[in-house]
Structure 1
C-alpha cells in the first residue's frame, strides 16, 4: 500500500454565507465594460473592492437555472486564483441564491490530485462565498440541507476518483467505518460471514481478486424505533476488469468508478446523518473487485444465490447484477424494508436510450417512481422511467439453472438487467433500480462540473428520503 492518504481532495468545502448588502459593485462593472469587455463572460477580471472581480451577466430577478449557470461559470473562472473569499454582489431571491451556491460549490470542488507538484489550476485556496440575498435568513435556512447534500456528494466524488490500487473492498469498507462518528451504525460482513449467509453470487464475482469481497451495512436510525426502514443497495465494484470475459483496454481505467452506486448511497447516508434526518434508512453496499485471476469464475459456472435460486454465468462482465442480486435478497430478508432503491453503473446500454442526459429508472411501483422522478428533477439528478422486461422473459431462462445472468447473444440490454434484479425482491416490496452508468463521469469539464466523477444520485436519494422517509 502506498503512503498517500485516502480520500484527500486538493480543495475541500466552501463556506457559504448570505448577507443583505455589500459595497456597490457598479464602479468595478463599469470599469470592465468601459474597457470593452462585456459581462456575461466568466473569464473577465479586474481589480475591485474585494480584489479579483469576475463579471457574469446576471439580473437581480434571475431564475434559479440562470443563477446556477452563473455560479458555475464564476467558480470555473476562480479556480487557480490566489484568493480566499468570493462574493456575489447581486441581491438574488432565496431560490436563486441557493442555486448559485450549489452550482458554485459543485464546480469549484476538485475530487482528487495525486500530483507531487500540483499545477495552479489543480488547486484553489478559496474557502468562502458570500452572497447578497433579498432575504438572507430565508436563504440560509434554505441552504442548510443543500450544504449537507453537497458534503455527501463531494465525498462520493472523492471516493469515485480513487485509483483501484488505493480503493479496494477492504479500504473502502475501512473508510465507510468512519461514518460511525456521525451516528451511523456500520456492520461489515467479510468473506466468511458472506459464505455463512449464502451470498455466493457476490462471492463468485470476487474470486479472481487478491482482495476478498465484503458487504458493508450502514444504518441511520433517525425515525421511530419500530418504523420499517427504506433500503438502499449500492453496487461497489472497486475495479471491473470484466473477469475472464476481459474488457477492452480502451478506457478500462475508468472502471475504477464502477463503485459509483455504492459511493452515491454512502454519500446519501452521510448527508442524512449530517442533517440528523428523522428517517430510518439501511444501506447494503456490495463491494468486490472483478478480476481475471486463476480462481475467477468462468462462463458456464452455476452458483446458488441467497434467494435460493441457481444462476448460470454467461458473461463474467455482467457481474453487477450478481452482487446486487444477493444484496437485494439478503437486504430484504434481514432488514424488512418498506421500499427499496438500488443504484448501480449496471449497463452502458442505458446510454443508447438516454445518452448522458438521464439515468434510467426502473420501478415496480408507480408511487415510488413518481417520488423518485420528482426528487430527480428537484435535485438535478434527472431520471427517465424505463420498462422492465416481462417476468417470463426468455433471455433470463437457462437450460441448466433457474436463471442466467444475461443472454448469450445479442446486444446488451438494460431492461433485461433490471428484470434480472426484480426477481430478487419480493413482489410486495416497492422496488426501484437506478441505472446511473451514463451519469457518473464527466470526460471533460463543462459549465457545471470539472472533468471527473459527478456524485450523481446523492442529492436525489436525500430529497426522496427526506420527503418520503
Structure 2
C-alpha cells in the first residue's frame, strides 16, 4: 500500500470520515443528509454518496475505551471495501493523536494481507493508495507505521505457511535474506555446529525429523561498546506432532503455527533495524520439527542441554520448553543481555487460564512486568502476569536427572513450564517469559480457518522504544 499526505479534501475521491460515538457534528461538511442512520458505534460503517458521486464512508470509532482498537476498525473497513477502490482513497485524520494515526496506517496495511500464497488462481491486486488529509506534517508517522504493518504481515505469512515449505532451514534462509536487506548480522547454526556447541535439547527434539534443526542468531548492534540491551528468544517448532507422545488428529494441521514465538523474534529484529532504533538487540530462534520416527527421542530418555543440566523426558509433546532452554542458556552465556524476553506458543494451559485475550507473562522483575503490562493494554496486545512461586519447583524434580520436562499434573501447566525455563536463565534478574499460545493464532474475521494474528511485534517493539527513553 502507498500512503501520502494531502492538506485538502478532493471531492472527486472516495473519503473515509472517522466518527467517535456521539460526536457527529463534523459530518455535515462531508454529507448532505441531515440525520444519517449512524451513531459511531465501534467498527460500524455507513456508506453514502457525495455531491460528485464519490463514496463517503462514515466509520465508527466507538467510545474512548475503543481507542486502542482504532487499527481494527480501519482494517475491517478496508478489507470489506477495497475491491471497490480504484482511485486514491482519502482519510480524514484531524483530531487523531500521533499514536492513533499510527494505528490507522497499521490497520489499513494489515488489510492487504493475503493468505492465498499457494492458490493457483489469483486476482490481480493493485496497490491501494491512501491520502491522509492533515494540516500538520505526518510523513514520519506514515513511514514508521507502514513499516510496522508490513512487518506484521510478513510474520503472519511465516506463521500461516505450511510445514512442508516452512522447515527449520527455511526459517534460517528467511532470516538471512532479511538481515542482508536490513543490514544486520545473521548466523545460522546447522546440525553439526549444534553438536559441537552442545545444543543437546534442540538436537533431541529434532532428531526424529528428516528436516534437521537449526539455531538462528540475529544481531542488530548500532551502539558502540558491544553491550546487548535486550535479547529475544523464540520457540521455532515448525511442526509439532507431539513426537512419540503424539497429539490427536483433531486440529493437528494447525501445529504449523508452533513457531509463532520465533516469528515475533525474527520480525522485531527486522523492524528495529528498519526503524534504525538506537538499541543493541540480539534474537535467538531455536528451531526444530517435532516428528515421529525410529530416531525420535522417547519418554523416559535423559538428554543433555546447552547449560550442562540433564533433563528427564516425561512427555515428548513438551518440546517447546526444551528448545527454549537451550536458546536461553546460549543467549545469556554468549551475549550477556541486560534484559531477556522469550516468546513461545508454549502451553494449552495458558489458554485454559486466560482464553484468547491475553498472553501469560512470567517474571520476577516487577519493573519489566509493569511496563509490558501497560504497553500491552495500549497496543491491545495484552499480557497478564502469572506467578513463579518456589512451591512449583517440586513439580519438576526428577529421580534420575537434574529436572524433568513435564510434571504430569493436570493443573498449573503454564506455570510449571515457566518454572522449567527459569532453571535455564542462570538466575537472570531481568527475564520475562511470554506464553502466547492463545493470542498468536486463532479465529479471524479475515479467514475461513484459524490464522496468524501478528501478535507480539508491536508489544515488543514498543517495549524496546520505552526502555530507550528511560
Question: How would you bin the TM-score normalised by the shorter chain?
Answer: 0.7 to 0.9
Match of 2:130 in 1: 129
How many aligned residue pairs are there? 449
Deviation at 1:360, TM superposition (A): 0.7
The answer as to whether partners of 2:61 and 2:67 remain within 8 angstroms in 1 is: no
Match of 1:271 in 2: 271
- 2:89 is the counterpart of 1:102: no
Match of 1:249 in 2: 249
- 2:78 is the counterpart of 1:75: yes
Is the alpha carbon distance of 1:323 and 1:38 closer, same or farther for their aligned partners in structure 2, counting shifts above 3 Å?
Answer: same
The answer as to whether partners of 1:43 and 1:77 remain within 8 angstroms in 2 is: no
Deviation at 1:28, TM superposition (A): 10
Distance between the aligned counterparts of 1:429 and 1:209, measured in 2?
A: 36
- 2:387 is the counterpart of 1:384: no
Match of 2:144 in 1: 145
Distance between the aligned counterparts of 2:450 and 2:248, measured in 1?
A: 22
Task: Give the TM-score normalised by the residue count of structure 1.
Answer: 0.88
The answer as to whether partners of 1:72 and 1:449 remain within 8 angstroms in 2 is: no
Task: Give the TM-score normalised by the residue count of structure 2.
Answer: 0.87
The answer as to whether partners of 2:244 and 2:298 remain within 8 angstroms in 1 is: yes
Distance between the aligned counterparts of 1:368 and 1:146, measured in 2?
A: 25
Q: Secondary structure at the match of 1:393?
A: helix
Match of 2:117 in 1: 113
Distance between the aligned counterparts of 2:298 and 2:459, measured in 1?
A: 37
Deviation at 1:194, TM superposition (A): 0.7
Match of 1:54 in 2: 57
Pairing of 1:316-465 with structure 2 (within 5 A): 316-390=316-390, 393-411=393-411, 413-445=413-445, 452-465=451-464
Match of 1:169 in 2: 168
Is the alpha carbon distance of 1:294 and 1:45 closer, same or farther for their aligned partners in structure 2, counting shifts above 3 Å?
Answer: farther
Structure 1 unaligned runs (5+)? 1-13
- 2:23 is the counterpart of 1:20: no
Match of 1:5 in 2: none
Structure 2 unaligned runs (5+)? 16-26
Distance between the aligned counterparts of 1:449 and 1:50, measured in 2?
A: 34
Distance between the aligned counterparts of 1:212 and 1:42, measured in 2?
A: 50
The answer as to whether partners of 2:392 and 2:416 remain within 8 angstroms in 1 is: no
Q: Secondary structure at the match of 1:92?
A: coil
Q: RMSD across aligned C-alpha pairs, in angstroms? A: 2.9
Q: Secondary structure at the match of 1:249?
A: coil
Is the alpha carbon distance of 1:449 and 1:28 closer, same or farther for their aligned partners in structure 2, counting shifts above 3 Å?
Answer: farther
The answer as to whether partners of 2:202 and 2:322 remain within 8 angstroms in 1 is: yes
Is the alpha carbon distance of 1:461 and 1:398 closer, same or farther for their aligned partners in structure 2, counting shifts above 3 Å?
Answer: same
Task: Give the counterpart of 1:89 among 85, 88, 92.
Answer: 92
Distance between the aligned counterparts of 1:298 and 1:59, measured in 2?
A: 53
Q: Secondary structure at the match of 1:159?
A: helix
Is the alpha carbon distance of 1:45 and 1:214 closer, same or farther for their aligned partners in structure 2, counting shifts above 3 Å?
Answer: farther
The answer as to whether partners of 1:211 and 1:289 remain within 8 angstroms in 2 is: yes
Is the alpha carbon distance of 1:42 and 1:36 closer, same or farther for their aligned partners in structure 2, counting shifts above 3 Å?
Answer: closer
Is the alpha carbon distance of 1:253 and 1:208 closer, same or farther for their aligned partners in structure 2, counting shifts above 3 Å?
Answer: same
**Structure 1, residues 22-53: CA drift from partner, whole Å, max 9, x if none?**
1356799646x589865754374658758554
**Structure 1, residues 386-424: CA drift from partner, whole Å, max 9, x if none?**
112426621100111110000134346100000100000
Match of 1:10 in 2: none
Is the alpha carbon distance of 1:371 and 1:184 closer, same or farther for their aligned partners in structure 2, counting shifts above 3 Å?
Answer: same
Distance between the aligned counterparts of 2:139 and 2:62, measured in 1?
A: 21
Deviation at 1:263, TM superposition (A): 0.4
Q: Which moved more, 1:66-75 or 1:371-380?
A: 66-75
